[in-house]
Amino acid sequence: MNTPDPKRWKKIEVEEYENLVQQTKPKPPLLKHCIWAFIVGGLICLLAQLIMNYLLNQGIGKVDASSYTSVIMIFLGAFLTGIGIYDELGKKAGAGSIVPITGFANAIVASAMEFKREGYIFGVGARIFTVAGPTLLFGFVVAVLIGLIKVFLSS
Amino acid sequence: MVPLYMAFLIGGLLCLLGQLIMDLTRASITPGHILVGYISGGAVLSGLGLYEPLVKIGGAGATIPLSGFGHLLTQGTLKAVEQKGLLGAFSGGVEAAAAGITAAVVFGYLAAVLFNPKG
């Protein structure tokens, strides 16, 4: 007869304990995710508003100031993705880093960066549209449909 | 000018909504789906006249989330239809969003070429 191996027993005890922890642990931290998304998303928009207010104070028109702000935020999103900061932020912030336009820039850079070995034209050049392509496509389609509806309603 | 705290509040709430969609729906919802959903949703709400009020109170808090990009496409399209009719339906959206689209493609490509992924 072989005697029970104490190491094995200990392993089983640890497993049981971990199972118990898994059962009593709170569900995926929805509240924590939401707070992070709210704060980070809010701060990104606050930064954009700061830039926009500055441009408006410089006497730039509202439409142009808004466009400038988007361009600056897109630049920041692309640059921070390049140096690896944005994706670190994204791990915590979730939708807070996806929904703002900086997240759109992030999606473009992140989906293209790894494909240099496929070339700069049909590797990187094509992959920047992995997420941006469908996003722009659906934006265009909805906008054109609404435009056509207006054409028919006003004719 | 829109107060900063309103930009924070509206922008934060739009992102919180995105987080709820990601956490409470099927796991197959990716960030890409969120972006597509927001641009389409923003464009539709804008067409119904429901997004402009949000921009009025939230400023960049409503224009910087991708739904604001959809709003820009729709408003550009509607304005161009008023001026040029049918042709405007096809030209107005991209005209209004030209700076953002071009910046995204150019800066996105440059960053992807100049930097290498970590790890």
Rounded to an integer, the average pLDDT of B74-100 is: 97
Contact between residue A128 and residue B108 where contact means Cβ atoms under 8 Å apart = yes
ipTM of the complex: 0.95
Q: Is B67 domain-assigned? A: yes
- Nearest Cβ partner of B31 from A45, A46, A107? A107
Structural domain boundaries of chain A? 29-154
- Nearest Cβ partner of B11 from A45, A71, A130? A45
Considering only CA atoms, give the Rg of chain B.
16
Residue A16 binned pLDDT confidence (cut-offs 50, 70, 90): confident
Show the domain range for B28: 4-114
User: Which three-class secondary structure string do you get for chain B?
Assistant: CCCHHHHHHHHHHHHHHHHHHHHHCCCCCCHHHHHHHHHHHHHHHHHCCCCHHHHHHHCHHHHCEHHHHHHHHHHHHHHHHHHHCHHHHHHHHHHHHHHHHHHHHHHHHHHHHHCCCCC
Using CA atoms, how far residue A143 sits from A33, A69, A131, B23, B79, in Å, is 32, 22, 19, 29, 12
Task: Round the average pLDDT of chain A to a whole number and report it.
Answer: 92
pLDDT tops 70 at residue A32? yes
Q: Is B65 domain-assigned? A: yes
Q: Is B78 domain-assigned? A: yes
User: Which three-class secondary structure string do you get for chain A?
Assistant: CCCCCHHHHHHHHHHHHHHHHHHHCCCCCHHHHHHHHHHHHHHHHHHHHHHHHHHHHCCCCHHHHHHHHHHHHHHHHHHHHHCCHHHHHHHHHCHHHHCEHHHHHHHHHHHHHCCHHHCCCCCHHHHCHHHHHHHHHHHHHHHHHHHHHHHHHHC
Residue A8 binned pLDDT confidence (cut-offs 50, 70, 90): confident
Residue A12 binned pLDDT confidence (cut-offs 50, 70, 90): confident
pLDDT for A28: 65
The tokens for A65 are 């100031």
The number of folded domains in chain B is: 1
Q: Is B119 domain-assigned? A: no
The per-residue pLDDT for range B36-77, each reduced to its tens digit, is 999 999 999 999 999 999 999 999 999 999 999 999 999 999
**B67: which chain A residues are within 8 Å (Cβ-Cβ)?**
99
pLDDT tops 80 at residue A1? no
**B9: which chain A residues are within 8 Å (Cβ-Cβ)?**
42
